[in-house]
Amino acid sequence: MKKIKSILPRAAMLLLVFTVVCGLLYTLAVTGIAQVFFPHQANGSIIEVDGKRYGSELLGQQYTDEGHMWGRIMKLDVSTYRDEEGRALLYASPSNLSPASEEYEQLVAQRVKKLRAADPERGDEPIPVDLVTCSGSGLDPHISPAAAEYQVPRVARATGRSEDEVRRIVKDCTDGRFLGLFGEERVNVLEVNLRLDGIL
Amino acid sequence: MGTIVQYILYLAVLVALAIPLGGYIAKVMKGEKTFLSRLLTPCERAVYKVMRVDPGEQMGWKRYAASVLLFSGISLAVLFLLQLLQGVLPGNPQNLPGVGWHLSFNTAVSFVTNTNWQSYTGESTLSYLTQALGLTVQNFLSAAVGIAVLFALIRGLIQVKKEGLGSFWVDMTRITVHILLPLNLVLAICLVAGGVIQNLKPAQTVSLLEPVAVSAEGEILEGADIDLESGAVTLNGRAVEGAQIVTEQFVPMGPAASQVAIKQSGTNGGGFMGVNSAHPLENPNPFTNLLEMISLLLIPAALCFTFGRCLKNKKQGVAIFLAMFLCLVTALAVVAVNEQMATPQLAQSGAVDLSAVQQAGGNMEGKESRFGIATSSTWAVFTTAASNGSVNAMHDSFTPLGGMVPMLLMQLGEVIFGGTGCGLYGMLAFAILAVFIAGLMVGRTPEFLGKKIEPFEMKWAVVVCLATPVAILVGSGIAAALPQVAESLGNTGAHGFSEVLYAFSSAGGNNGSAFAGLNANTVFLNLSLGLVMLFARFVPIVGTLAIAGSLAQKKRLAVTAGTLSTTNGMFVFLLIFVVLLVGALSFFPALALGPIAEFFGAIA
């Protein structure tokens, strides 16, 4: 009992000291530095054109227009978040489905069918896997260059642009691997679509 | 080709950084001067002054253990209350209500035990105050506790005929001030530069390029025509009554980078966002991913080298590192191959392109385009080898065998690097078991690093080694027998059982990653997983300190020709063998019902 009495106040003190140091000072120091030196990144990399906020370059949206590049499959969520006036806001979550079940097989078959119908130019060519799978965050803003190339003829047809023009836009919105080594090459879908719409 | 280079480079960067950091940590433990001393030692002394602690204090094992337990107990209580009361506290721009009692209990246990299992979804449940003063603080301190216990064990091995294992207060202060704070300050700022958010603003909204129509029942209306001016929604030529048009997207905000840095480097793993480091605002690109992924395994790997240096026996540190590293590489190979091959269900008889040309290819379900297969597989293995548990892809959507390996890594007791400190002290308990078995085979009294291993140490070593398997098997056994747990499952059949087994493996390994299809936010799962986490964390801590206390009092035996070497290839092999023996035999039957059954079902 005496032992506990001598330990307890020190344990509480240790927690208090480091709550102030690691919780408060550390968090505020990083926030301060971030806001001064990296305000764009620290505030969500939001794309703003003429005062209108057209999404974050880091958050995927769902596109179904034929004249837009399509992204990863999204499991949309319109029930969790609302704005101050109570209107529903869009968010998304991962599927968490096993890729080895029969239900999954049927789900992918439907997606293949839908893409084949939308992209008749591609005929029976295999569809890049990014276009028929849900991402890890549910909000993946990117697709692979193969997935973008697959859609080029459709987008060109629907927007009246030439395929080369669409390819040029895709290329402008493509990020390479870090140092040419790490991660994967990828196309930012929102940026492509903003350019297709003439906003960016 | 590029993919294989990526795997090799990830491993190379890890080793290249772990060796110097290991040396630095050894200096900190012994209180020697480092290149940061001039700046940090005055801060360290100030903490002692405020706490009225004598930096020269020596604690016996019981006092050290009591300090750990009481400190963790207070932390648990404070974090529990902080969540319950967040609704009336400041630092809550989203005006979130207080967290319910069982979820608060689960999250408090989870962060104090360095597990960081997420029953909660950060952006919709926790206020910034809770995230910063509660979770971030415990991310630091629970990591420091693990390292402190390891330091005590190392002192037990070094000391000859003494009682003292050092002071818990001094160890905690030094670890936090000299190691964790500087490392994470740099890391957090690099993460922000790379695009991770860090602010104190409420969540933002942005316009959607294509509005989405939702029926009155909340269902998404695919393919509906939307007239934004009049607000009319028509589907297949018919007007839809009561339909709602969603024109804006939710963009979560908050002080993420500062917490993400320590959740990675402290092998914590509890995300700022619900989907953890798969979220593009928490891990936006391959650069931030490299930082986050290397830092999650950095300290556990470095501690192997710290161990060698402190014992003045670098070869011993390297031997233990190699045993861990070989298991890591093997696990990585299995996951990488399975994820790249994907499944027949995804391949659709060739209609889906799984090749790695101009894309990552393979099983992209639950994986981000910027990470692909190589980076996601490496992360999955790193995070479950270390008891980190953060994810950059959804493990629930891995292939059956690709998802089994992370599960097995946790079931092995989180000793393939494991958590900061706790991984290595767990592995040292297995080393004691290994020398005991070897001693039986050659008919000699077992000894480890010059200390005789006797029944007292053996008993506690067995307790340390078996705490995790017992906790996992009892927990998942009970859960699998309860009908209400079936309602939480996100998948059916063998994969559904895997979700439950994974959850308890994660809690029992103090890992925290999940097959996230499981809805774990129920009274039973929150409480039972909480108890498993407490058991698997504190039983081994007490056992380790008991062993340390007993070893400290022993004399050092001279090395003779008959002494079993614990630094050669034979010992490395023996150590791996014992780890696999305990882990694989305990879990083979359970794995056969889950991922193995699913694998054979899928290829049939």
Domain ranges of chain A: 2-40, 48-196
**Chain A interface disruption, residue of B352, B382, B518, B600, most A CBs within 10 A:** B352
Determine the Cα–Cα distance for residues B602 and B604; give it in Å rounded to an integer.
Answer: 6
* Cβ-defined contact of B358 to A135 (cutoff 8 Å): no
Counts of helices then strands in chain A (DSSP H, E): 7, 8
Rounded to an integer, what distance in angstroms lies between the CA atom of residue B119 and that of residue B178?
32
Subunit contact A81:B396, Cβ cutoff 8 A: no
| Contact across the interface for A59 and B281, Cβ inside 8 Å | yes
Query: Helix or strand or coil: residue A55?
Result: strand
Contact in structure between A190 and A62 (CB atoms under 8 Å)? no
pLDDT of residue B404 exceeding 70: yes
> Using one digit for the tens of pLDDT, what is the confidence trace for B9-29?
999 999 999 999 999 999 999
Q: Are A18 and B142 in contact (CB under 8 A)?
A: no
Q: Which chain B residues have a beta carbon less than 8 Å from that of A100?
A: 343, 345, 399-400, 495, 598-599, 601-602
Which of A5, A14, A57 to mutate to probe the B interface, most B CBs <10 Å? A14
Q: Are B128 and B83 in contact (CB under 8 A)?
A: no
The pLDDT value recorded for residue B1 is 60
Kindly state the average pLDDT of the residues B48-60.
93
Secondary structure (3-state) at B436:
helix
CB B446 within 8 A of CB B439: yes
Phi (first) and psi of residue B58, to 5 degrees = -115, 125
Is there a contact between A94 and B278 (Cβ–Cβ < 8 Å)? yes
B181·A22 Cβ contact <8 A: yes
Would the CB atoms of B251 and A23 count as touching at under 8 Å?
no
∠ at Cα B101 (B251, B541), nearest 5°?
95
The amino acid at B479: A
Q: Under an 8 A CB cutoff, do A76 and B220 touch?
A: yes
pLDDT at residue A1 greater than cutoff 70:
no
Contacts of B376 in chain A (CB under 8 A): 136
Note whether ipTM > 0.85 here. Answer: yes
Tell whether the model's pLDDT for residue B267 goes beyond 80.
Answer: yes
CA pair distance B552, B546, nearest whole angstrom: 10
The verdict on a CB contact (< 8 Å) between A182 and B255 is no
Contact: A99, B188; criterion CB under 8 Å:
no
Interface of A with B in 52-91 (CB under 8 A): 52-56, 58-65, 68, 72, 76, 78-81, 83, 87-91
Q: What percent of chain B has pLDDT over 70?
A: 100
- Closest-CA residue to B80 (of B130, B6, B19): B130
Alpha carbons B116 and B383: distance in angstroms, whole number: 12
Cross-strand partners of A134 = A73
Using a CB–CB cutoff of 8 Å, tell me whether A140 touches chain B.
yes
The three-class DSSP label of residue B52 is coil
- B184 contact residues in A (CB cutoff 8 A): 26
Q: Does the beta-carbon distance from B185 to A53 stay under 8 Å?
A: no
CA distance A55 to A72: 16
Residues of B with CB below 8 A from A133's CB? 346, 363-367
Distances in Å between the Cα of B574 and the Cα atoms of B413, B438, B453, B569 are 17, 8, 17, 9
Backbone CA torsion sign across A166, A168, A173, A177: positive
The encoded tokens of residue B165 equal: 């294992």
Calculate ∠ Cα B400-B404-B405, nearest 5°: 130
Exposed / middle / buried, residue A80 (Cβ in 10 Å: 0-12, 13-18, 19+): middle
A140: pLDDT strictly greater than 70: yes
Lowest mean pLDDT among B158-162, B181-185, B217-221: B217-221
Q: Quick check: A18 and B209 CB within 8 A? A: no
β-sheet bridge partners, residue B250: B205
Nearest to B370 among A108, A138, A183 (CB): A183
SS3 of A182, please?
strand
B2: pLDDT strictly greater than 80? no
CA distance B29 to A143: 47
Residue located via tokens 């000072």: A25
pLDDT higher for B477 or B220? Answer: B477
Q: Dig out the tokens for B209 from the structure.
A: 């390029």
Average of per-residue pLDDT across B310-316? 93
- Residue A194 confidence (pLDDT) above 90: yes
What is the C-alpha to C-alpha distance for residues A154 and A72, in angstroms, rounded to an integer?
Answer: 17
Distance separating alpha carbons of residues A68 and A53, to the nearest angstrom: 19
Chain A and chain B share a number of CB contacts under 8 A equal to 413
B71/A83 touch (CB, cutoff 8 Å), yes or no: no
Torsion over CA: B589, B593, B594, B595 (sign) = positive
A108–B345 C-beta distance less than 8 A: yes
Mutate which: A2, A66, A137, vs B, most B CBs within 10 A: A137
Distance CA B6, CA B375 (A): 8
Strand A46-49 to strand B451-452: parallel, antiparallel, or no bridges (unpaired)? unpaired
| Chain A environment of B50 (Cβ under 8 Å) | 13, 17
Q: For chain A, how are helix, strand and coil distributed in percent, rounded to 5?
A: 50, 15, 35
Could you tell me the pLDDT band of residue B134, with boundaries at 50, 70 and 90? very high
pLDDT of residue B573: 95
Q: Which is more confidently placed, B493 or B12?
A: B12
Q: Do B346 and A129 touch (CB under 8 A)?
A: yes
Question: Average model confidence (pLDDT) for chain B?
Answer: 93
One-letter-per-residue 3-state SS of B481-492: HCHHHHCCCCCC
Residue type, B373: I
Identify the H or E element spanning B578: helix B569-591
| Main-chain phi, psi angles of B227, to 5 degrees | -105, 105
- For residue A162, give how far its alpha carbon lies from the nearest alpha carbon of chain B (Å): 22
Contacts of A45 in chain B (CB under 8 A): 195, 281, 284
Q: Which A residues, 90 through 119, put their C-beta within 8 Å of a C-beta on chain B?
A: 90-91, 93-105, 108-109, 112
CA distance B582 to chain A (A): 29
Residue B449, classified by CB atoms within 10 Å of its CB into exposed (0-12), middle (13-18) or buried (19+), is buried
3-state secondary structure B203-239: CEEEEEEEEEEECCCCCECCCCEEECCCCEEEECCEE
- What distances in angstroms separate CA B123 from CA A80, B131, B258, B367, one per listed residue? 10, 10, 15, 21
Chain A residues inside the 8 Å CB shell of B216:
none
Mean pLDDT of A29-38: 96
The pLDDT value given to residue B521 = 92
> Angle at the Cα of B51 (from B49 to B54), degrees rounded to 5?
65
User: CB of B457 within 8 A of CB of B593?
Assistant: no
B217 phi and psi, to 5 degrees? -85, 0
Phi, psi angles (nearest 5°) of residue B216: -60, -25
Of the candidates A80, A129, A178, the beta carbon closest to that of B364 is on: A129
Q: How far apart are CA B94 and CA B290, in angstroms?
A: 31
| Beta-bridge mates of residue A174 | A187
Identify the three-state secondary structure at position A187. strand
Closest by Cβ to B251, choosing from A44, A72, A127? A44
Q: Which residue has the higher pLDDT, B532 or A83?
A: B532
Give residues 159 to 188 of A whose Cβ lies within 8 Å of B. 175, 177-178, 181-186
Mean pLDDT score, B222-245 = 86
Backbone phi and psi for residue A171, each to the nearest 5 degrees, phi listed first: -65, -40
Mapping DSSP to helix (H, G, I), strand (E, B) and coil, where does residue B551 land? helix
Residue B170, both tokens: 């001094």
Residue B428 CB: number of other CB atoms within 10 A? 25
Q: Say which amino acid occupies B340.
A: Q
Our CA-based measurement puts residue B59 at a distance from the nearest CA of chain A, in whole angstroms, of 11
Q: How far is B285 from chain A (nearest CA, A)?
A: 8
B371·A136 Cβ contact <8 A: yes
Helix locations, B159-285, DSSP H: 168-174, 181-194, 256-265
Determine contact, residues B328/B416, Cβ cutoff 8 Å. yes
Contact B244 A88 (CB under 8 A): yes
B601 confidence band (pLDDT: 50, 70, 90) = very high
Asked if B491's CB is within 8 angstroms of A101's CB, the reply is: yes
Candidates A101, A129, A184; nearest CB to B370: A184
Distance from CA of B225 to the nearest CA of A (A): 11
Cα B556 versus chain centre, distance: 36
Cα nearest neighbour of A87 on chain B: B246
Half-sphere exposure for B257 (CA within 13 Å, toward CB)? 34
Among partner residues B208, B222, B364, which is closest to A130 by beta-carbon distance?
B364
Tell me the range of B215-219, B316-320, B444-448 where mean pLDDT is highest. Answer: B316-320
Lowest-pLDDT range, A78-87, B107-116, B191-200? Answer: A78-87
H or E element in which residue A169 lies: helix A163-172
Q: Does A146 touch chain B (CB under 8 A)?
A: yes
Left (φ > 0), alpha (ψ -120 to 50) or beta: where does B267 sit?
left
At residue B145, the pLDDT reads 96
Bridge partners of residue B292, in order along the sequence: none
> Which among A43, A96, A190 is the top mutation candidate for probing chain B, defined by the most B β-carbons within 10 Å of its own β-carbon?
A96
Residue of A125, A184, A193, A200 to mutate, testing the B interface (most B Cβ within 10 Å of its Cβ): A184
The 10s digit of each residue's pLDDT in B25-42 is 999 999 999 999 999 999
Q: Which two tokens stand for residue B150?
A: 């390891």
Q: Which residues of A touch B353 (CB under 8 A)?
A: 125-129, 146
